[in-house]
Amino acid sequence: MLIAFENDRPLQGLIGELDWRFNGHFTRLLKQQVLTGSEGESIYCPLSWNEDTFHFLVIGGGFLNSEIERPARSLKLFDLALQKLDELKLTRMAASRKDWNLPEIHVGAQERNLWLVD
């Protein structure tokens, strides 16, 4: 699960690192306005690399007025992301604890077999 904000350009956090690894795929989605980062927006992106397929769920975080807003908004959006996982019936996912401002243990993560990585 990834989070993208409307005014994070270049992309920050794990989505920025994965964008580099996948040759700018998420940046292309932004340029084509398939992905905007609008609050609550969600996009499912299956991507292939080295004969493996990786499945990404990107949630839009909206417009950040300051970096101070990022942690509170990320945590609120995490619950929306968990709802999307349920809708897609995805049973195993990973999320960056830092990007989503998550504590060591998150009840929703444990229930859904969600891996929290640093």
Which domain CATH number covers 14?
3.40.220.10
How big is the chain by its Cα radius of gyration, in Å?
Answer: 13
pTM greater than 0.95: no
Q: If DSSP states are collapsed to H, E and C, what string results for 44-78? A: EEEEEECCEEEEEEEEECCCCCCCCHHHHHHHHHH
pLDDT in tens, 7-62: 988 999 999 999 999 999 999 999 999 999 999 899 999 998 889 998 899 999 99
Residue 111 pLDDT? 67
Which pLDDT belongs to residue 105?
61
Confidence class for position 101, pLDDT limits 50, 70, 90:
confident
- Taking a C-beta distance cutoff of 8 angstroms, is the pair 84, 78 a contact? no
pLDDT at 96 over 70: yes
Structural domain harbouring 16: 2-117
Stronger pLDDT, 67 or 10, i.e. the higher one? 10
* Mean of all residue pLDDT scores within the chain: 86
Give how many domains the chain has, as a whole number: 1
Helix (H) or strand (E) holding 97: helix 97-100
Containing H/E element for 1?
A: none
Both structure tokens of 40: 């609550």
Which residues 6+ apart lie within 8 Å of 106 measured at CB? 78, 114, 116
What is the predicted pLDDT for the residue at 108?
Answer: 61
For residues 60-87, average pLDDT: 86
**Residue 85 in tokens:** 């996982």
Helix, strand or coil for residue 96?
strand
